[in-house]
């Protein structure tokens, strides 16, 4: 079956953060929204079908996690990522950011140090700060158009840190970390007594020829010293259902986390969360392959368009997912002027690069998970705005 990702769906009026919060955030409603990380494609049809079918019953009582929830995760993780896990290794979390907050609360005390590698998905440091832990920033290095880890710096920075929050793959840089890089992270963190949280929410959207290495499979040190978070929410476009999970191999870490979660019933999911995960993972292979291929087409389209029409803006080519970090430094604008260019001249709503840390200065993050015609229109508007700069 061929799925249609070219269809333009009007999302206005659905209380969508990406679409309906544009006006309150930018004070205008004439911008193409290309910011919040969800897709403008229809949520995978088998997920919608499963929810509709359940709604037909018309009694929405208390519900436990269906057997298919854990079985489908075990099968998916095995088939897609080559990781053999047992059902008891799973803990439901109502979203990954909340999951990170729970880990911070469970495994650290106020004032403890938590490391992040900016530019990085901002809730990593915001949640840490709001929970009154100290954020240690160990910046990535941009070299030949890709982000890398400066391991000398990493080794120094991580000393004394209780946790490392790793975006694997990376947002906003789109890097798929290599096994060698992950193995070094695992070794260093094991020695420094730093627990690794590997946030793998974008893993299923890894773009060929890249392959996602799951952190826990990297080495024995990685397996024993990590919590891995996964979710079908990005890949199948269902983040509004807040259904994710942690996989913890280490018995001691798992028991501690589960005890913490159960004490406040944080690990109790809801009816639609369980059903949707099971539906996505039980029927998702073909749809996912097609959406990944469409996204890759959009990445190629953006790369070619920028090279041919807006050469002063360089893209960090994502190896996974649909977020593109645009390097706009050659335009010679300060951050305020850059935002002005995108909003007032190009009529586009992107994430300001500095949202992800001061290292994002001169950058903007573009979400290309939209029909190609919309992407083309957006790039045309950007091209015109850049021409008008001169
Ligand atoms: C790296 C990363 N982690 C977590 C999230 C959000 O996860 P959730 O909606 O499950 O809290 C995002 C969303 O963009 C993300 O990019």
Rounded distance between C-alpha atoms, residue 169 and residue 228, angstroms: 12
Lining ligand 1 with CB less than 6 A are 37, 95-97, 121, 167, 171, 199, 201, 231, 233, 239, 244
Rounded distance between C-alpha atoms, residue 244 and residue 39, angstroms: 17
| pLDDT band for position 1 (cuts 50, 70, 90) | confident
Q: Report the number of secondary-structure helices (H) and strands (E) in the chain.
A: 14, 15
Contacts within 8 Å (CB) and 24+ apart, 25-31: 25/349, 26/343, 26/349, 28/343, 30/347, 31/343, 31/347, 31/348, 31/349
| Percent of the chain surpassing pLDDT 90 | 99
* Closest residue CA from atom 9 of ligand 1: 95
Neighbours of 209 (CB within 10 A): 6
| Domains, the chain | 17-44+285-389 (3.90.1150.10), 61-282 (3.40.640.10)
Given the CA of residue 37, which atom of ligand 1 is nearest to it? 14
pLDDT tens-digit series, residues 90-111: 999 999 999 999 999 999 999 9
Instruction: Compute, in angstroms, the gap from residue 231 CA to the centroid of ligand 1.
Output: 9
Instruction: Compute, in angstroms, the gap from residue 57 CA to the centroid of ligand 1.
Output: 32
Instruction: Compute, in angstroms, the gap from residue 69 CA to the centroid of ligand 1.
Output: 20
pTM of the model: 0.97
- The span from the first CA to the last CA of the chain, in angstroms, equals 48
pLDDT tens-digit series, residues 69-80: 999 999 999 999
Instruction: Compute, in angstroms, the gap from residue 311 CA to the centroid of ligand 1.
Output: 31
Chain-wide mean pLDDT for the chain?
Answer: 98
Q: Could you identify the residue written with the tokens 């209380």?
A: 15
Given the CA of residue 242, which atom of ligand 1 is nearest to it? 10
């Amino acid at each position: 079956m061929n799925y249609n990702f070219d269809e333009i769906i009007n999302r206005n009026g659905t209380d969508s953060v990406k679409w309906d919060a544009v006006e309150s955030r930018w004070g205008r409603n004439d911008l193409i929204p290309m910011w919040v990380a969800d897709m403008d494609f229809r949520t995978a049809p088998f997920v919608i079908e499963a929810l509709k079918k359940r709604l037909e019953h018309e009694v929405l009582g208390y519900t436990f996690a269906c057997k298919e929830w854990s079985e489908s995760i075990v099968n998916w993780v095995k088939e897609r990522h080559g990781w053999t896990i047992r059902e008891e290794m799973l803990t439901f979390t109502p979203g990954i950011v909340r999951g990170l907050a729970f880990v911070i609360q469970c495994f650290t005390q106020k004032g403890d140090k938590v490391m992040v590698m900016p530019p990085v998905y901002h809730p990593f440091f915001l949640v840490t700060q709001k929970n009154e832990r100290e954020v240690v920033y160990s910046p990535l290095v941009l070299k030949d158009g890709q982000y890398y880890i400066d391991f000398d710096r990493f080794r120094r920075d991580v000393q004394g840190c209780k946790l490392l929050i790793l975006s694997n793959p990376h947002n906003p840089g789109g890097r798929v970390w290599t096994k060698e890089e992950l193995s070094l992270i695992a070794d260093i963190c094991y020695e420094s007594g730093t627990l690794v949280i590997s946030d793998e929410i974008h893993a299923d959207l890894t773009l060929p020829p890249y392959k996602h290495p799951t952190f826990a499979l990297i080495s024995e040190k990685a397996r024993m010293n990590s919590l891995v978070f996964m979710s079908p929410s990005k890949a199948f476009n269902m983040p509004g259902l807040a259904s994710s999970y942690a996989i913890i191999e280490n018995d001691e870490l798992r028991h501690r986390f589960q005890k913490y979660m159960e004490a406040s019933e944080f690990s109790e999911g809801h009816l639609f969360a369980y059903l949707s995960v099971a539906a996505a993972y039980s029927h998702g292979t073909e749809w996912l392959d097609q959406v990944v291929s469409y996204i890759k087409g959009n990445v190629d389209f953006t790369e070619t368009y920028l090279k041919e029409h807006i050469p002063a803006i360089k893209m960090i080519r994502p190896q996974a997912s649909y977020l593109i970090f645009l390097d706009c430094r050659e335009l010679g604008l300060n951050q305020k002027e850059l935002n002005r260019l995108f909003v007032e001249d190009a009529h586009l709503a992107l994430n300001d690069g500095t949202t992800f840390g001061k290292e994002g200065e001169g950058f903007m993050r573009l979400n290309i998970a939209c029909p190609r015609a919309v992407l083309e229109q957006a790039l045309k508007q950007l091209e015109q705005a850049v021409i008008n700069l001169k």
